Amino acid sequence: MKTTETPAPLPAESGGQTVSKVEVTPAARPSGQKSEGTVLNVFSHGILVIWAIMVVTPLLWAVMTSFKDDSSIFGSPWSLPDRLHFDNWARAWTDANMSDYFLNTVLVVGGSLIGTLVLGSMAAYVLARFDFPGNRFIYYLFIGGMSFPIMLALVPLFYVVNNMGLLNTIHGLILVYIAYSLPFTVFFLTAFFRTLPTSVAEAAFVDGASHTRTFFQIMLPMAKPGLISVGIFNFLGQWNQYMLPTVLNTDPDKRVLTQGLVQLAVSQGYKGDWSGLFAGLVMAMLPVLAAYIVFQRQVVAGLTAGALK
């Protein structure tokens, strides 16, 4: 900071005495530092632009291809469609049974997502707010579940689900999805509940609220950003899950979208309906994109809430 002092006379009523006038001028920024920051800024933005192009281009190409006919897909794959072939979507929705696959997926993912958030938030709240013997042990068990490869559990999981009579059932797949998603959910929400103020819960206890009422009416609404964030992550993982339904759900009438897309892709070797395949692919992508676009602000808020608090 550079300062200069210049004498200046006071007004007449002050007796003509002089005082020092201080002028504050901003410090000069080194030109080398400024140029380095500009180069780094341009480089980082360039990397982000390249990454965005790599991600968005395949999505836009798939959407554009879903409105073409088969001859245009192979003849001019990068050109715009001559007209919008909405019959591709209708054919994929009805002839390829995408409607049934979509409904089964909504039931499985919706039920498992609700169960995961309810059970995971309750377990995380207890682990974060109450001290009892075995608290840390149970917490580390959930952490260990995150590192357990699902491939190692497929064979014993198949026999367990079969012995329970839940093989090839929607509710059996829901229970497996819940168990598969709980470790990460508990890990995420435990850290989030620890950032919430304890004074609000203590005030509720003083007013006579029970633990159940305090959790559902006070603490759970306060944890809404964290619930939305972990809900989006679980939704993405469960919607795109392929290995578990392939092993535990072999009934053709109860297949989910990932199984239906694979079946549709295999059938192209005999039918050649590539336009219908791309239409079905876009159908499977749209709910995921819509969920992230709608809740992107809540996801960022949930991820940064712990750091801000």
CA angle 94, 95, 99 (to 5 degrees): 35
Going 143 to 288 to 122 to 103, the CA torsion angle's sign is negative
Name residue 272's amino acid: G
- Give yes or no for a contact between 91 and 273, defined as CB atoms under 8 angstroms apart: yes
Q: Determine the pLDDT at residue 302.
A: 60
Confidence of residue 4 (pLDDT cuts 50, 70, 90): very low
Report the chain's mean pLDDT, rounded to a whole number: 82
Minimal CA–CA distance to 230: which of 177, 175, 188? 188
52-62 pLDDT per residue, tens: 899 889 889 98
List phi, psi (to 5°) of 124: -65, -40
- Give yes or no for a contact between 107 and 170, defined as CB atoms under 8 angstroms apart: yes
Q: Determine the pLDDT at residue 121.
A: 94
Mean of pLDDT values over 244-270 = 83
Multiple choice CATH, 87-308, 2.40.128.20, 3.40.640.10, 1.20.120.160, 1.10.3720.10:
1.10.3720.10
157, pLDDT greater than 70: yes
Minimal CA–CA distance to 196: which of 242, 129, 143? 129
**Phi-psi group of 31: left, alpha or beta (phi > 0 → left; psi -120 to 50 → alpha; rest → beta):** alpha
Q: Determine the pLDDT at residue 287.
A: 86
73, pLDDT greater than 60: yes
Domain boundaries, the chain: 2-65, 87-308
Q: Pick the more confident residue, 277 or 111.
A: 111
